[in-house]
Amino acid sequence: MNAIISASELADALRSERPPVLLDVRWQLSTAAASGQPFDGRAAYASGHIPGAVFVDLDRELASTPGPRGRHPLPDLDVFGAAMRRAGVSAGTPVVAYDGGIGWAAARAWWLLRWTGHPDVRVLDGGLPAWDGPLEAEAEAEAEASAPAEGDFVPKPAEGAVLDADGAAALARSGVLLDARAGERYRGEVEPIDPVGGHIPGALSAPTSDNVDADGRFRPAAELRARFGELGATRDVPVGVYCGSGVSAAHEVLALEVAGIPAALYVGSWSEWTSDPARPVAVGPDPQ
C-alpha cells in the first residue's frame, strides 16, 4: 500500500463505504508567527479543516515532555493511544494524516501509527494546500455533532524501528545514517536551536527539503530511490534517519518508504545527542 495519498484520491475515499479517519496535525517548528504569537495549530484547525477531521496535538499527543531524551521524545503510549481512539482510530480503520503542507507533522503521526501496529495509514501528499474540496469550521462541526465514535486502537510498538543514541552511532559505522536537517546545520555553520552545531560522526547529509517538489509534494518514487541510492541507502543495507528532534526525520522515513526502502528513526535525534557533551560531534561537509 502506498504511504501517501493524493487530494483527489482522498476525496474519493471519503465518499466510499469505508472512509478513512482524518487526523489534522497542523504544527510549526518556528516558535512565533509574524504577529509575534506562537503558531496555534488548534486555532488553525478551528478556523477551517477537512470535514470530519480531528485535531491532534503533536507536542502533547505525539511526543512527551522535552528533556534529556530530546525535544520530541516518544509519547507515553497511553496518551497516544487515547488520542488515537478519541479521533476514531480502530485497528481495521484506514487513517489519513495531513498538516499545513510541509508534511513533517503528518509524517510523525504516520510513523507513530505504523510503529505501533496500525497497517493502513497514509499522509495527504502536499497537505492541506493540496486539498481543493470544502473546509469546515469547528463551530459548524459542533453544530452537526460530527465527533467520531470512539475507536479501539491499542498501540503495540514494533521491534527494531527505533534507534537510540548508541544505535544511531553504530549504524553510522555499519550502515547508512541520514541527517535530515538543512545542510548548514549538518555542517555546523549555524545552529538556531540546539547547543552545538554539526552532525553525528559518519552520518550523511540528506535534507528533507530535497524529498519534495516546489509544491511540497513528494518526488516520484524512482527519483527518490535514485536520490537515496546515491547516498548508499538501498533495501540491501540498514538505514536510519535523524533530524533535530525526530519530526522532520519522520518525513524522511516516509520518503524512504515511498522509495521502497525501510528505515529506522532515531527519535531523540540531534536534540538528544547534544544533551550529553561526551558524545562526539563532527563538523563540515565530511561525514567523519
Question: Which residues does the annotation mark as catalytic?
Answer: 243
Sign, CA dihedral 191-176-208-153, equals negative
Query: Could you give the CA distance from residue 273 to residue 266 in angstroms, rounded to a whole number?
Result: 10
Question: 47 vs 40, 125, 148, 179, 226, CA distance in Å?
Answer: 11, 21, 19, 35, 40
Q: Which residue type, as a one-letter code, is found at position 63?
A: A
Distance, CA of 18 to chain centre: 25
Query: Could you give the CA distance from residue 9 to residue 25 in angstroms, rounded to a whole number?
Result: 19
Q: Which residue type, as a one-letter code, is found at position 187?
A: R
Query: Could you give the CA distance from residue 167 to residue 202 in angstroms, rounded to a whole number?
Result: 13
Q: Which residue type, as a one-letter code, is found at position 52?
A: G
Can you list the pairs that 207-212 forms with residues at least 24 positions away whose Cβ atoms lie under 8 Å?
A: 207/180, 207/181, 207/182, 207/183, 208/104, 208/180, 208/181, 208/243, 208/248, 208/249, 208/251, 208/252, 208/255, 209/182, 211/251, 211/252, 211/255, 212/103
3-state secondary structure of 240: strand
Query: Could you give the CA distance from residue 188 to residue 169 in angstroms, rounded to a whole number?
Result: 18
Query: Could you give the CA distance from residue 29 to residue 264 in angstroms, rounded to a whole number?
Result: 22
